[in-house]
Chains A and B, each alone.
Chain A
Amino acid sequence: MNFTEILRTAVFALRGNWLRSVLTSLGVIIGIAAVIVMVSVGQGTQAEIDKLVSGLGSNRLDVMGAGGFGGGGARLAAGSRYTLSEGDADAIRREVPEVQYVAASLRGGTQAVYAENNASTQWQGVQPDWFDINEWKIAGGSSFSPRDYDSAAKSVLLGETVRRELFGDDDAVGQTVRLGRVPFTVVGTLQPKGQGGFGQDQDDLVVVPLETARRRLTGATALPPGAVQQITLGVGRAEDLSYAQDEIGALLRQRHRIQPGEDDDFNVRNIAEVVATRTQTTRLMSLLLGAVAGISLIVGGIGIMNIMLVSVTERIREIGLRMAVGAGPSDVRRQFLAEAMLISLIGGVVGIALGAVGAWLVGRFGSLPVALDGKVIALAAGFSIATGLFFGYYPARKASLLDPIEALRQQ
């Protein structure tokens, strides 16, 4: 029998029991749709994390003030006690040559006001290297001049979200905005970065020179002289990272006069490491999701096998007759295999459509990132074909091995 003939016969046989055929392919539909949605979510999460990692750079270190013990003995969040100082940053710059960039910073919340517009946002008081380490680029105007840093000038750079909220389509550069009650001159705007790896809006910020922040924005909080919340470091070569991490730790312990056995009052974090751990977790999650989806596909396949076995038993006389009139074992095998493949292919096509819609819905209304690409669809199509072949082969072979004499004798 040629291909069209086999297909025609298979369609005819499946139509004869169409409800059963539909229900059987439903198993594959669900399995394939599950594979598509799960793998899309897994890949989307992975892509987000990859973006995050490349955004951070693999050679970045963060030094935060450690929580330490506050007045009530409760441990405070990292960075909340001002144990770090600009002096620490200078010392690192001076004594750890592996470190290429050093930027001490302060941050806090404020209200930015321009004319009748206002925006609640975060401010960052930074040193010059901060822009390099965090890969911020200037979209309009210019960055701070050395004079801005030295003189604690009331200059500000606006993140895209703040710029849009305050100025809309108007040009912000040269305008004056108020941060809290202090008027600042907008010297430039930052290029947008979009959503961060943890879902936050990275462009919702304003940036001022560190000294300006300390004098004008920290408000009523009495800071120790030269205090900073965070020192961000860029190490020249990624392979020096853990060595630099150790060096900085030793240097700060010495500067902070921490005795052996005492807890550090700071914390050197390698964010790339944290993210790498997260990447592994995500990989594991993707794998688990894929496995669950794969299991449902196997269940669908078993459904096909089950129905095909029933079908072979029911049609044993037909098989006997077809053999008597000249169908060889290979003809019979192909016919039943074609039926199983057709069920799983139809299931595959509908499942891919359903899965694509499902993945889109998850991406649109769920809070999970989704990446649906041709590879996932090709994978699902391959799976559905493999399912039909694998689970259809045994019943088809069983049919082909029937003895026509016995088969014709069946009632």
Chain B
Amino acid sequence: MNAVVRPATAPVIATRGLRKVYAEGTEAEVVALHDVDLEIAAGEFVAIMGPSGSGKSTLMNLLGCLDTPSAGEYRCEGVDVARLDDEQRARLRLEKIGFVFQGFNLLPRMDALENVAMPLGYANVPRDERLRRASAALTAVGLGQRMHHLPSALSGGQQQRVAIARALINEPSLLLADEPTGALDTRTGEEILALFKQLQRNGHTVVLITHEADVAAHADRTFVMRDGELHPGDPA
């Protein structure tokens, strides 16, 4: 990975000794994450693999600033996440992180355009500009013709494209995808993965969590989680 030319800015993700312990100090104590050191530079496409229960969801929640570590350090573009309170972490998510979920998580009563524009409301972007940007994002993921469809009128692949457009709407530093193809058939999954690769070519940083090796194969680098420990995986 030394071959990658790093920009002068801080890495998108830099963790040192990241640890997450549940029910700490009790008999039910579970160490979900053991001293994870991870550095991801801007523009990389990284996959994190592992069976269920290996701690990859815990890592994903920490990287997505939804959770705080029990010990260790996480800097997201240089910002020490552990020092932030709930409001500040929400702000960080708003500005730097875009989530793509396995279950799409679109709001069922809003059309595609409103779903994509929704996060911008929290950034106090005026409504006109919000809708304009959302429509551009939908066009970019190939859904320019379906902006006013409700999620229920869209196929799974289309819904996931809407979700990706929503994740991109704030121009985040990091795109975090948790099993984004898990609910899709193989062919549609391939299309979504192709979209991620295209996004990477356009300069986005993508971290993909999956348990499928052929999905992970699309990434530049692969890590494997095993019992809460992160190991470099086989090169694709």
Q: Contact partner of B101 among A12, A327, A408, CB < 8 A?
A: A408
Residues of A within 8 A of B87 (CB): 328-330
- Contact at B122–A326, with CB atoms within 8 Å? yes
Contact residues, A1-41 vs B (CB, 8 A): 1-2, 5, 9, 12, 16
* Cα(A250)–Cα(B119), bound, Å: 89
Question: Complex: how many Å from CA A328 to CA B91?
Answer: 7
Q: Does A77 have its Cβ within 8 Å of any Cβ on chain B?
A: no
- What total of chain B residues lie within 8 Å of the partner, measured CB to CB? 27
Query: B166: nearest residue on chain A (CB-CB)?
Result: A325
Q: Are B93 and A2 in contact (CB under 8 A)?
A: no
By a CB distance below 8 angstroms, the chain B residues around A98 are none
B107 touches A325 (CB 8 A): no
B17 nearest CB across to chain A (Å): 22
Which residue from B64, B110, B123 sits with its C-beta under 8 Å from A324?
Answer: B64
Contact A5 B93, beta carbon cutoff 8 Å: no
Q: Is A331 within 8 A of B90, CB to CB? A: yes
**Segment at the interface with B among A124-132, A294-302, A314-322:** A314-322
Given A324-B66, A326-B95, A405-B61, is A9 in contact with B121 using a C-beta cutoff of 8 Å? Answer: yes
Number of residue pairs A-B, CB distance < 8 angstroms: 62
On whether the beta carbons of B66 and A325 are closer than 8 Å, the reply is no
Q: In the complex, A16→B150 CA distance in Å?
A: 14
Residues of B within 8 A of A318 (CB): 107
Of B61, B66, B107, B124, which is within 8 A of A1 by CB?
B124
Q: A5-B121, A326-B123, A331-B122 are in contact. Are A321 and B105 (CB under 8 A)?
A: yes
State in angstroms the CA–CA spacing of A323 and B89 once bound together.
10
Chain B CB within 10 A, most for which of A2, A9, A16, A325: A325
B-binding residues in A (CB < 8 A): 1-2, 5, 9, 12, 16, 317-318, 321-331, 404-405, 408
Q: A405-B61, A405-B66 are in contact. List 18 more A-B contacts (CB 8 A).
A: A1-B124, A9-B121, A12-B109, A322-B118, A323-B90, A324-B93, A325-B93, A325-B99, A325-B118, A325-B167, A326-B91, A326-B93, A326-B119, A327-B122, A328-B90, A329-B90, A331-B90, A405-B67
Q: What are 6 A-B contacts with C-beta separation under 8 Å?
A: A323-B66, A324-B64, A324-B105, A325-B122, A329-B87, A405-B66
